[in-house]
């Protein structure tokens, strides 16, 4: 299996160029569903140690249905097939440029959540214009085991988020373990109490927002991903969901740019425009760097061929 690894703000992306299972024809949504239901062992083996690493997201290149798109992609982590991935799209764009498949300028990429537009500014810098994002519920209070009542907003940015602002724990690297434990408990509570999307979609990410001591930075966040690892980047889909909340609250004007920082200090530049269906169209600018190009082997005699699942 031929792969290229990159990171976006410290968050790794593994682009799979060939060697993946055949997912057949149909829409990206249909093919993503086949990956999730028929090939779980495959995608977990790519993400789990010893081949993968915590927080890594896979980006499986597939043929797009839309002929205006330069690529189709299905995103996944070790625990779930994802609708969209912001940091992964930045990493994928830089990888496609590294391969000579695209050049500087604007391109369209098809995901199972919809078509997104990317603008490659240089070898490392990309702006993603994401799908329309929206806040679904405001001020939802959950009874969280071990923590009591926690209130947050439910929003969609390509994945489903429960956003707590302000964070009950300072968003600092020293608190990552405590932040992780609390956000895992919040997600479990949201699922238990049926808090999620309009059609019952479960919460898959939790965000804690915090102020930044740097006046040039709008805020810092901690983002829990479906695999219970934290996002090293500020999370593209999470930033999109947060922009939708800020817009709904009248706290950020269309076109106004802010800097969102992650718990480890990496940053995105964010802004939005009004969407056609009452939501917002987010713009996310970040940087990715290619780290490795490799062939993965799956020896039938390897006792950890399918990864270490502990």
Q: Is residue 307 part of a domain?
A: no
- Predicted confidence at residue 224, as pLDDT, reads 97
Cis, bond preceding 272 (omega within 30 deg of 0): no
In what helix (H) or strand (E) does residue 292 lie, and over which residues does it extend? strand 280-295
Average pLDDT of span 149-173: 97
Residue 310: inside a domain: no
**pLDDT higher than 80, residue 152:** yes
Contacts of 176 (CB under 8 A, 6+ apart): 222, 230, 263
Query: Domain containing 103 — which CATH number?
Result: 3.10.310.10
> In the prediction, which pLDDT does 106 show?
98
How many other CB atoms sit within 10 Å of the CB of residue 70?
Answer: 14
| 301 within domain boundaries | no
**In angstroms, rounded to a whole number, what is the distance separating the alpha carbons of residues 119 and 133?**
19
How many structural domains does the chain have? 2
Q: Which two tokens stand for residue 264?
A: 């480890």
Note whether 44 and 169 are same-domain residues: no
Residue 281, domain member (yes or no): no
Are residues 141 and 29 part of one domain?
no
Q: Are residues 84 and 181 in the same domain?
A: no
pTM of this prediction exceeds 0.85? yes
- 107-133 residue pLDDT tens: 999 999 999 999 999 999 999 999 999
**What local confidence, expressed as pLDDT, does residue 59 receive?**
98
pLDDT digits (tens, 9 = 90+) for 41-99: 999 999 999 999 989 999 999 999 999 999 999 999 998 899 899 999 999 999 999 99
Both tokens of 39, joined, read: 């090939």
Residue 95 and residue 153 in one domain: no
Query: In this structure, are 208 and 222 located in the same domain?
Result: yes
In terms of domains, do 167 and 99 share one? no
Position 220 scores a pLDDT of 98
Q: Would residue 61 count as lying in a domain? A: yes
2-8 and 134-144 strand pairing: unpaired
pLDDT of residue 190 exceeding 90: yes
Same domain, 119 and 193: no
The secondary structure element, H or E, covering residue 37 is helix 28-38
Known catalytic residues are 85, 235
Report yes or no: 261 and 212 within 8 Å, Cβ to Cβ.
yes
- pLDDT tens digit sequence for 231-246: 999 999 999 999 999 9
Q: Flag whether pLDDT at 168 surpasses 90.
A: yes
- Predicted confidence (pLDDT) at residue 210 exceeds the cutoff of 80: yes
Banded pLDDT at 309 (limits 50, 70, 90): confident
In a domain, 27, yes or no: yes
Identify whether residues 118 and 140 lie together within a single domain: no
The range of the structural domain enclosing residue 115 comes to 2-130+290-295
Collapsing DSSP states into helix, strand and coil, what is residue 54? coil
Please list the helix, strand and coil fractions of the chain in percent, rounded to the nearest 5, in that order: 20, 40, 40
User: Do 72 and 152 lie in a common domain?
Assistant: no
Give the model's pLDDT for residue 310: 74
Confidence class for position 251, pLDDT limits 50, 70, 90: very high
Count of beta carbons in the 10 Å neighbourhood of residue 273: 12
Tell me the C-alpha distance between 235 and 231, whole Å.
6
Are residues 241 and 174 both part of a single domain? yes
Judge if 87 and 74 occupy the same domain. Answer: yes
Share of the chain above pLDDT 90, in %: 97
* Residue 187 and residue 98 in one domain: no
Confirm whether 217 is domain-assigned.
yes
Kindly give the pairing relationship between strand 219-224 and strand 205-210: antiparallel
Residue 7 lies in a domain: yes
């Amino acid at each position: 299996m031929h792969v290229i690894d990159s990171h976006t703000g410290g968050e790794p992306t593994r682009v799979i160029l060939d060697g993946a299972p055949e997912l057949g024809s149909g829409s990206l949504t249909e093919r993503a569903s086949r990956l999730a239901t028929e090939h779980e062992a495959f995608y977990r083996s790519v993400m789990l140690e010893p081949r993968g690493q915590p927080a890594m997201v896979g980006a499986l290149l597939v043929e797009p249905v839309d002929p205006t798109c330069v690529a189709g992609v299905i995103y996944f982590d070790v625990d779930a097939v994802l609708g969209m991935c912001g940091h992964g799209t930045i990493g994928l764009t830089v990888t496609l440029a590294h391969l000579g498949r695209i050049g500087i300028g604007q391109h369209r990429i098809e995901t199972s959540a919809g078509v997104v537009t990317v603008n490659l500014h240089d070898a490392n810098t990309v702006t993603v214009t994401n799908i329309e994002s929206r806040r679904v519920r405001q001020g939802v209070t959950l009874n969280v085991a071990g923590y009591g009542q926690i209130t947050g907003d439910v929003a969609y940015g390509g994945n489903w988020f429960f956003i707590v602002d302000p964070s009950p724990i300072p968003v600092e690297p020293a608190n990552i373990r405590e932040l992780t434990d609390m956000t895992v408990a919040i997600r479990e509570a949201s699922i238990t109490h049926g808090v999620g999307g309009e059609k019952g979609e479960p919460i898959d990410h939790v965000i804690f927002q915090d102020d930044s001591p740097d006046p040039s930075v709008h805020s810092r966040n901690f983002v829990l991903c479906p695999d219970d690892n934290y996002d090293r980047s500020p999370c593209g889909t999470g930033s999109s969901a947060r922009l939708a909340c800020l817009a709904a609250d009248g706290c950020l004007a269309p076109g106004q740019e802010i800097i969102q920082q992650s718990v480890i200090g990496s940053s995105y530049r964010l802004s939005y425009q009004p969407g056609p269906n009452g939501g917002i169209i987010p713009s996310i600018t970040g940087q990715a760097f290619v780290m490795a190009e490799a062939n993965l082997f799956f020896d039938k005699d390897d006792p950890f061929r399918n990864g270490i699942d502990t």
